[in-house]
Amino acid sequence: MSNQYQPVLSTAGAETLPDLDHLLDADTFTAPDVPWHVLVWNDPVNLMSYVSYVFRSYFGYDRAKAEKLMMTVHTEGKATVFTGSKEEAERHTSALHTWGLWATFERAES
Amino acid sequence: MAQGFKSTPRGYTARFTPEEVQVLTQLFEDVALTLEPDEEAATDPLADLVGISENAQIPTDPALARMLPVASNDPEMADEFRRFTELSLRRGKIANLNMAAMDARSGDLALDAEHAHAWATALNDVRLTLATRLELKTEKDAARISQMTEWKDVETTDQYMALLYNFITWLQDSLMEAMLSQLDD
């Protein structure tokens, strides 16, 4: 008799837990396919030659792309220099801080 | 009078007078000292070993706040990022500044790629520090400060700092142009 009760419990558990996971996912975790951006902000100190050099040597961007990004930072106040996973975005932000650029990371607007 | 950086077969060369050597080493060492982590902040040796700060906060010194910037507009995310990255960021910058200070002493430089990289970031951190002390915030401030280029015009501490700032700016730009010339197009 006592054995009859257990399957009910375990079934209930199996149905409830995934729901809870789903709820947690939606509230506190980011879906893995939502991209993140790394932004570089303008300041009146960093030299154009320096910023171009960082974009070329660190990201491996060619001269045209690096200079276009540098000019976007300069004229528009900021530029998105990288889009990808959160982990990569954090790593690039940290590297750009080592270079002395004013970089931030954020979730891309969907 | 200094000779700015040039790309040569011997590496990135530059030459400084003894007075310039003194100014450069002093600036590199001062900024390195500013970046030293708080002794009290690093109390857990294991956390310290793996480079985690237990209690990292936005620095109150504006020069430090610029060199160790806020990484996210989400305060919680920014805090966590700082906890995990600030200590290694400080140590990396200090290492580059110390390397540049050692190199500067000879007055006659021929830098390989590793040392040139250290100089590029060290000169940048010196400029970021001087710029905050000079309250350089806008392009207009930058234009005003860039006019101070003559020793004979220096009468105040700010004018002296502006002169140093312009010297370091000129030096860094010569290095970056030389380093850019070595990249493939």
Q: Please give the average per-residue pLDDT across B174-178, as a whole number.
A: 98
Q: Please give the average per-residue pLDDT across B66-92, as a whole number.
A: 95
Which of A97, A99, A106 is nearest residue B72 as measured by Cβ atoms?
A: A106
Q: Which residues contact B70 (CB under 8 A, 6 or more apart)?
A: A104, B58, B78, B82
Higher pLDDT, A31 or B66: B66
Cβ of residue A30 closer than 8 Å to a chain B Cβ: no
Higher pLDDT, B174 or A16: B174
- Give me the pLDDT at residue B125, please: 98
- Give me the pLDDT at residue A27, please: 42
Block means of pLDDT (10 residues each) for chain A, length 110 residues? 41 43 46 85 94 96 96 96 96 97 90
Residue A37, H or E segment: strand A36-41
Residue B84 scores a pLDDT above 50 = yes
Cβ of residue A49 closer than 8 Å to a chain B Cβ: yes
Per-residue DSSP letter, B111: E
Of A38-52, B107-121, B140-154, where does mean pLDDT reach its minimum? Answer: B140-154
Which of B72, B121, B169 is nearest residue A99 as measured by Cβ atoms?
A: B121
- Give me the pLDDT at residue B52, please: 74
Q: What is the per-residue pLDDT across B11-57, written as a single tens digit (0 to 9) for each?
A: 999 999 999 999 999 999 999 999 998 765 556 676 676 677 776 78
Q: Give the residue from A78, A97, A106 with the most B CB atoms within 10 Å of its CB, the best one to mutate.
A: A97
- Give me the pLDDT at residue A16, please: 42
Q: Which residues contact B156 (CB under 8 A, 6 or more apart)?
A: none
Q: Which residue of B has its CA nearest to A107?
A: B72
Cβ of residue B137 closer than 8 Å to a chain A Cβ: yes
Q: Which residues contact A22 (CB under 8 A, 6 or more apart)?
A: none
At residue B157's C-alpha, the angle toward residues B152 and B159, to 5°, is 50
Q: What pLDDT band is residue B153 in, cutting at 50, 70 and 90?
A: confident
Rg of the Cα trace of chain A?
23
Which value does ipTM take for this structure? Answer: 0.91
Which of B125, B141, B172 is nearest residue A44 as measured by Cβ atoms?
A: B141
A98 and B73 in contact by Cβ < 8 A?
Answer: no
Tokens of A25: 């996912």
| Shortest distance, CA B35 to any CA of chain A (angstroms) | 12
Q: Give the residue from B7, B12, B72, B97 with the most A CB atoms within 10 Å of its CB, the best one to mutate.
A: B72
**Dist CA B51 CA A104 (whole Å):** 20
B136 and A94 in contact by Cβ < 8 A?
Answer: no
Tokens of B35: 């970046």
Residue B99 scores a pLDDT above 60 = yes
A44 and B138 in contact by Cβ < 8 A?
Answer: yes
Which of A57, A63, A90 is nearest residue B81 as measured by Cβ atoms?
A: A90
